[in-house]
Amino acid sequence: MRTSRRRKLQEEKIVASKAIIERGEPAIPIQKDDDVLAAAARLAGEDLCSISDLSSAEVRAILKLGHDVKRNPHEYRHALDAKQMVLMFEKASLRTRLAFETGINTMGGNAIFVDQTSSPLGEREAIADIARNVERWVDVIVLRTYAHDTITEMAANSRVPVINALSDFEHPCQALADLMTLEEHFGSAAGLNFTYVGDGNNVCHSLMLAGAQLGTNVTVATPRGYSPDIEIVTKAREIAEANGCEVRLLQDPQSAVEGSDAVYTDVCVSMGMEHESTKRAPIFRPFQVNEALMAKAGERAVFMHCLPARRNAEVTDSVLDGPQSIVFDQAENRMHA
């Protein structure tokens, strides 16, 4: 029964996408770029559960659109008139919530926030039933959850698009904002040497995939036993090969950052894993991003962090607040990407 419904929903999404192309109505009518219009038509009605849901051309188009929205916000003030977006968050949020709410409000739409921190999705009511209700009221569902399966199950049962605003496996919107920020600072992400230092977590997964999509050389340095998921690594390497770049896994942060254009880190204890704090602290201490590590990368290198940061844990104050830090540019671009 569920398989039949999933097939029907997917067919409806494809029909909706084709209808937009036939009517010549791009998702953002005032954006004239042919590549962006083509991507908008292809992505109309589609979910974003993972960066791997997007092609390289679609990632580039999304970022191109994000840059234009940031430069010319007045041109998009009616782009989402009367559109309704619901944010259903199991985890606390500052940047993600405000970026989505401010973004849609600025474009003429409306955001509805549902706090799920005390009542995880699927606990009180089946996720499929939630999807069938919510799809009657809104145009898009944005989820921030503990389990990635919650997002994929919602997407499988919803007639409206579902967007992953963070799960335990990926953080695609963060990665898009990060790549947009790299493009702002370097002109292009293609050919850059990008190094992630720390836990091979959800943010790391999305960055590997997104970087590979744009032709960025990605190096990941993690402690033994904390490497990124092998399926993500395999997928990222396949994408990288097609785009003329590489994905490397190392366990030495010192050698990993040499020659890097960007050094990125995240907390070593993600939300929901607080019980591992004492165990992880000494393991990740050698992976702290400090002035000495940034010196290995060079003066040109920028420092990045998805925030919130645990100051003087995974990164020192001097780096986070220093001249190489672009963390608040990343935060701002969460709204535009």
Q: DSSP letters along 55-88, please?
A: -HHHHHHHHHHHHHHHH-GGGGTTTTTT-EEEEE
pLDDT, residue 249, reads: 99
Which is higher by pLDDT, 218 or 273?
Answer: 218
pLDDT at 202: 98
* CA geometry: angle 328, 331, 336, nearest 5 deg: 125
Q: What is the pLDDT of residue 18?
A: 44
User: Quick check: 292 and 318 in contact, CB under 8 A?
Assistant: no
User: What average pLDDT does the segment 201-224 reach?
Assistant: 99
Q: Which of 22, 32, 62 is nearest to 46 (CA)?
A: 62
Q: How is residue 335 written in tokens?
A: 């709204």
Copy the structure tokens of residue 127: 């996720």
**Cα–Cα distance measured from residue 280 to residue 292, given in angstroms and rounded to the nearest whole number:** 22
Give the phi and the psi of residue 188 in degrees, each rounded to 5: -155, 150
- Side chain identity at residue 24, one-letter code: G
Residue 30 has pLDDT above 50, yes or no: no
Topology of the domain comprising 174-336 = Rossmann fold (3.40.50)
Q: Is the pLDDT of residue 16 over 60?
A: no
Query: What's the pLDDT band for 106 if we cut at 50, 70, 90?
Result: very high
Q: How far apart are CA 234 and CA 236, in angstroms?
A: 6
288 near 314, Cβ under 8 Å?
Answer: yes
Higher pLDDT pick, 277 / 50: 50
- CATH class of the domain whose range is 77-169: alpha beta
CA dist 112 to 88, 98, 138, Å?
9, 12, 9
* Residues making up the chain, counted from first to last: 337
Nearby residues of 178 by Cβ (< 8 Å), 6 or more positions away: 207, 210, 264, 304, 306, 330, 333
pLDDT above 70 covers a percentage of the chain that reads 91
Give me the torsion for CA of 42, 46, 50, 53, rounded to 10°. Answer: -30
% residues pLDDT > 90 (the chain): 84
Would you say residue 8 has pLDDT above 80?
no
Which one, of 287, 170, 146, 309, lies nearest residue 228 by Cα?
Answer: 170
Predicted pLDDT of residue 303: 99
Other CB atoms within 10 A of residue 22 CB: 9
Q: Which of 30-34, 70-74, 109-113, 265-269 has the lowest mean pLDDT?
A: 30-34
> Which residue spans of the chain are classified as CATH 3.40.50.1370?
77-169, 174-336
pLDDT tens, 61-90? Answer: 999 999 999 999 999 999 999 999 999 999
pLDDT, one tens digit per residue, over 195-209 is: 999 999 999 999 999
Alpha-carbon distances of 66 from 46, 186, 332, rounded to whole Å: 18, 16, 11
Centre a 10 Å sphere on the Cβ of residue 143 and count the other Cβ atoms it contains.
24
Give the mean model confidence (pLDDT) for residues 90-113.
97
Helix orientation angle between 56-71 and 34-43, rounded to the nearest 10 degrees: 110
User: Is beta strand 193-197 parallel, antiparallel or unpaired with respect to 140-144?
Assistant: unpaired
Question: What pairing do the DSSP bridges indicate for beta strands 84-89 and 247-250?
Answer: unpaired
> Which letter does DSSP use for residue 315 in this model?
B
Active site residues: 144, 171, 174, 266, 306, 334
Phi, psi (rounded to 5 degrees) for 47: -85, 160
